[in-house]
Homo-oligomer: A and B are copies of this chain.
Amino acid sequence: MDDIDLMRDFNRYYTRRIGVLNDEYLGQGRPLGEARLLFEIGAGVDLRDLRRRLGLDSGYLSRMLRSLSAQGLVSVAPRPGDARVRTATLTSAGQRELADLEERSRASVAGLLEPLSADQRSRLVGAQAEIQRLLRLAAITLTPVPDSSAAARSCLRSYAAELAERFPEGYDAEGALLPPGTLHDGTFLLATEEDTPIACGLWQRLAPILASPSPVAPASSAPSPSPSSSAPSPSAPSPSAPSPSLPSRAAEIRHLWVSPSARGLGLARRLLAALEADAAAHGVTTVRLGTHSSLGEAIALYRSAGYREIPPYDESPYNQLAFEKSL
């Protein structure tokens, strides 16, 4: 039995167990769809958002809401300001009903856990947390996007905001952040979880350094089918590339950032590996990066990913440390 079969087996077992659990507390007279609605309508939600979040047809939603408001559990009213969209709110009876649902749900889970010792319970939730982390990580997709795209800029803004807060000296986004539309020889990777951006990073070809060994022919560095947003094949240097006609084999990784909500999943490591792989596929053999001495987790990540410290290679005031790795 391989991993796949083991997982299928677990899925069958778990969904069956949890299925009866859910029936136990949800199926108390109320149709499932309505119960889910009650859960989702916290304190006023636009119907539009409800539909999107639950993936419902507008007619279907409208009908369920009608039923719920006939039962006096929710009230639907046009949103002040824009009367096209309507918002649903729980009435006080609805809140009671929801609390009741929650309580029943808690009770049925408690009944399930009851025969287990405290130690066994904590092992159970520990294993669940591990699974959830890994599944989240697996559900995150990495896509190359233009560095000027809205999602990319929003990630970079969050990145800059966080650095401004963490660096004792603050962070000058204007001066230090990659200006939009200037990444011509490299790739901006965006990580999204259920269509919301949660992490990013980019690699960018470095101008050849005079002290570096003279460029050799790009012999076997054939263009690969790997995803790349903007980098042309190595034999066709981009217009913005500096004087030498052969592209540099050194690149820099910059702006690696993971949203706080996605930390602890191992996403930074995955993103870093993806950036390296993409750069390597474009003929890059050496990647460098600079970082701030206050970013302990990042430094630990680079070290454990095979980077070794080198003297700082640029003048950015924020890059007190620099690292390098051969691909």
Contacts and interface: CB of A to CB of B under 8 A. Distances in A.
B10 A131 contact: yes
B3 A125 contact: yes
B128 A10 contact: yes
Contact of A18 (B11, B114, B270): B11
Interface residues of A, number: 45
Contacts of A123: 130, 134
Interface string A1-27: 001111110110111011101100000
Contacts of A116: 134, 137-138
A266 B15 contact: no
Task: With a 10 A CB-CB cut-off, give which of A13, A114, A134 has the most chain B CB atoms.
Answer: A134
A112 to B, nearest CB: 6
Given A7-B113, A106-B8, A110-B4, A120 B132 contact: no
A109 B7 contact: yes
Contact of A21 (B11, B134, B266): B11
A32 to B, nearest CB: 12
A107 to B, nearest CB: 9
Given A3-B125, A14-B14, A14-B131, A105 B137 contact: no
Task: With a 10 A CB-CB cut-off, give which of A109, A112, A114, A125 has the most chain B CB atoms.
Answer: A125
A114 B3 CA distance: 11
Nearest to A128: B10
Interface in A127-159: 127-132, 134-135, 137-140
Contacts of A311: none
Contact of A131 (B105, B109, B127, B135): B127
Given A120-B266, A138-B113, A128 B6 contact: yes
Nearest to A107: B4
Nearest to A14: B14
A121 interface: yes
A120 B123 CA distance: 18
Contacts of A132: 10, 13-14
A320 B246 CA distance: 83
Given A3-B122, A266-B120, A13 B110 contact: no
Given A7-B124, A11-B18, A128-B131, 7 more contacts: A6-B128, A7-B128, A15-B18, A116-B138, A124-B131, A127-B128, A127-B130
7 shortest interchain CB distances as A-B pairs: A127-B127, A10-B128, A127-B130, A6-B125, A124-B134, A115-B138, A127-B131
27 contacts: A3-B124, A4-B106, A4-B109, A4-B110, A6-B125, A6-B128, A7-B112, A7-B124, A8-B105, A8-B106, A11-B109, A13-B132, A14-B18, A14-B131, A14-B132, A14-B135, A15-B15, A17-B135, A17-B139, A115-B138, A116-B138, A120-B134, A120-B137, A124-B130, A124-B131, A124-B135, A127-B127
